[in-house]
Structure 1
Amino acid sequence: MLVKLFNVYRVLAFVVGVLLAFCALVAAPLKYLTEEGSSLQQFGESASIMWLFHGWIFMVYVVVAFLLARRARWSVGFTLLMLVAGLVPLLIFWVEHRVTQKVRAENPELVEPSPA
């Protein structure tokens, strides 16, 4: 069960991270910081629908991250960091890396042996 949760977590973290980065660093600035009526502003307006997708996928991410943290018996602080990471652009990529290190350190059987 831990392996499945871990794999689903990694995929969701990547998707949530990419969506949040796109929305916060591309769509929002184009929508609000470009000339009204310009093609860039219109693109930013259209691309803002991605916030909706981020929100729905983030809710699934929160559930999976919580289940993974509870199954692995991680601290409340680390669990909260995992949950909040999807709200701060680019932070989720660092947190996902830390989660991967932690899972592999605590579960050596999950680490694939290197080919000789």
Structure 2
Amino acid sequence: MTKLFNVYRVLALVVGVLLVVGSLGSLMKYLLTEGSTLQQLGEHLGIIWMLHGFIYIVYVVVAFVLAQRARWSIPQLGLMLIAGLIPGLIFWVEHRVVVRLREDHPELARA
């Protein structure tokens, strides 16, 4: 079970970083002057959204399995899933999940 916990933590951080980078790329693409270097960089960062999508799907499955094993409620699972869609929120949620797992289910959260 330790493996699932560690996979969740890594996926949460990767999804969070991709979400922040993708959001910054979109802001550069749509808010900066057309043809500028940073605007073009924003266009090239569009691939980040595809990576985020694929990795987010894996994150959803792992979060679901982890929530099932911890016997958490649907709202807790919902918060875990929504956090992967709002830039920055996943870092706070990942921290809260780790703290809660270590308190309530130490057998699931051995690191």
- Whether the TM-score (by the shorter chain) exceeds 0.5 is yes
Distance 1:7 1:111 in 2: 9
Aligned to 1:12: 11
Of structures 1 and 2, the one scoring higher in RCO (CA 8 A, sep 6+) is 2
Aligned to 2:90: 92
SS of residue in 2 equivalent to 1:108: coil
Aligned to 1:32: 30
**Percent of aligned pairs sharing the same letter:** 60
**Larger Cα Rg: Structure 1 or Structure 2?**
1
Distance 1:107 1:73 in 2: 10
Alignment of 1:9-88 (within 5 A): 9-24=8-23, 26-88=24-86
RMSD over aligned Cα atoms: 1.3
Q: Retained in 1: the 8 A contact 2:70–2:105?
A: no
Q: Show CA shifts across 1:72-116 (max 9, x none).
A: 10011101101111000000001000100111001335467xxxx
Aligned residues, how many? 110
TM-score by length of 2: 0.93
Distance 1:34 1:108 in 2: 48
Provide runs of 4+ in structure 1 moved above 3 Å. 108-112
Q: Show CA shifts across 1:15-61 (max 9, x none).
A: 0000001111x201110011111111111000111011000000000
Structure 2, unaligned stretches of length 5 or more?
Answer: none
Aligned to 2:103: 105
TM-score by length of 1: 0.90
Structure 1, unaligned stretches of length 5 or more?
Answer: none
Distance 1:13 1:21 in 2: 12
